Amino acid sequence: MAPRTLFEKVWDDHTVLVRDDGQTLLYVGRHLAHDGSYHAFDFLKARKMKVRRPDLTYATPDHGVSTATHDLASITDPEQLEVVRALTANSAEHGVMLFDLDDDRQGIVHVVGPEQGITLPGLVMTCGDSHTSTHGALGALAFGVGASDVYHVLATQTTWQKKPKAMRITVEGKRPAGVTAKDIILAIIGKIGTNGGNGHVIEYAGSTIRSLSIEERLTVCNMSIEAGARAGMIAPDDTTFAYIEGRPFAPKGADWKRSVDYWKTLPSDSGATFAREVALDAAALAPMVTWGTSPEDVAAVTDVVPDPARETDADRRAAMQSNLEYMGLKPGTPLSQVPIDRVFIGSCTNARIEDLRAAAKIAKLGKVKVPSWVVPGSSLVKKQAEQEGLDQVFRKAGFEWRESGCSMCVGMNGDVVAPGQRCASTSNRNFRGRQGRGSRTHLMSPEMAAASALAGRIADVRDYLKRV
């Protein structure tokens, strides 16, 4: 057999059949449902069908929940209240494992999956959410699907997909101080653009990637979608196995040994062919921040707001001008002098325990100058952070400590940025209105967001790291 990539191995192992038009029917190893899955359950009900493999389906409410309190009465949007309640009812009807609002295991679905050991190397995983790519950090082939595809997975435990191409992004070298996994993926998107991975599954490789913790790898793979890719993956290794072992839904006993033996066969073979290769030097990176309305509008925090007049491409120049008008920014302004109105630390990109620990190290150095929220990625993350005293660090600095959920990342649950306000955010998207109508979003790492909260402006975290 010819040398194969990690992606090709997982794809081949889950192929049921291939149609003449190239569409492939894939077996789905795990499906994750959340409050946005209600349409698919409605489709099942209309056709008097049941979930085919409830034992391989896991659910938790996240998008529509309130992070002020997990009391249902605090969900003020009637539509969101309805879909959160529907998830509870649908899970009970179909025998699906549900981590509900009163369950310590509740949280953002892409935090819960790895945390519970549901996410495993070598699986095909689906969810009705684009950031399902997150789970590729453990060597799974994970991607978001639309409502009709969610219904197909629930009904058949399979999904029809067109096979993407394989792309490899290699990052080598030691990260400078202040450079995080968030900075790595923002730098990648800045280099290849938001369409750079279109039609591909990205495999992240190189010494820098291998040195990342699993939680850092989850951040990188999470934003593969912002790079235009179908999914992102990192080859499983000893770091992966150590992270998974002992988690509630991970294999046990003899099954564990058999699983690890299989997982060790998954990394890309020497000589495997990639349709596209990209390389980055980690040593040349700096803390990053977005200035426009796309993740590709990104620069080092030491840079200035770019000048559209220097852009030779007319379409790009017009887009830059429009973006800067929306963002209320003037060319040539140092990014580190841009004032902010609020800070959001949370989302499936950066709300795990390591993210909160890193942000707390900066938070303890001062007091916030703008309203600032910390929203843990799951109830278990919240509980662990409180056991470690991180909540007290944040509260003492003036941050608001919230319940777990998607919160201000998606702006559909009452947690929004007001029109015209500028938010330093650890989330993954900064398009117009993402955090609320008329909101202005600057993407950055948790450490950068914490520093910006203390400064009341976009701040270079390295100025604070000197004091840690």
**pLDDT, tens digit, for every residue of 231-248?**
999 999 999 999 999 999
Other CB atoms within a 10 A radius of the CB of residue 390 amount to: 24
For residue 99, pLDDT beyond 90? yes
Tell me the per-residue pLDDT of 353-372, one tens digit each, with 9 for 90 and over.
Answer: 999 999 999 999 999 999 99
Question: 6-276 and 301-465 share one CATH topology?
Answer: yes
The CA-to-CA distance between both ends of the chain, in Å, stands at 53
For residue 1, pLDDT beyond 90? no
Mean pLDDT for the stretch of residues 388-413: 97
pLDDT of residue 216: 98
Mean pLDDT for the stretch of residues 135-159: 98
Give, as one character, the DSSP assignment of residue 406: S
Cβ pair 428, 223 in contact under 8 A: yes
Mean pLDDT for the stretch of residues 95-110: 97
Cβ pair 155, 40 in contact under 8 A: no
Domain 301-465 matching CATH 3.30.499.10: the answer reads: yes
For residue 226, pLDDT beyond 90? yes
Tell me the per-residue pLDDT of 246-300, one tens digit each, with 9 for 90 and over.
Answer: 999 999 999 999 999 999 999 999 999 999 999 999 999 999 999 999 999 999 9
CATH topology of domain 6-276: Aconitase; domain 3 (3.30.499)
Q: What long-range pairs does 393-397 form, CB within 8 A, spacing at least 24?
A: 393/360, 393/363, 393/364, 394/359, 394/360, 394/363, 396/364, 397/363, 397/364, 397/366, 397/367, 397/368, 397/453, 397/454
Tell me the per-residue pLDDT of 413-439, one tens digit each, with 9 for 90 and over.
Answer: 999 999 999 999 999 999 999 999 999
In the chain, domain spans: 6-276, 301-465
For residue 411, pLDDT beyond 90? no
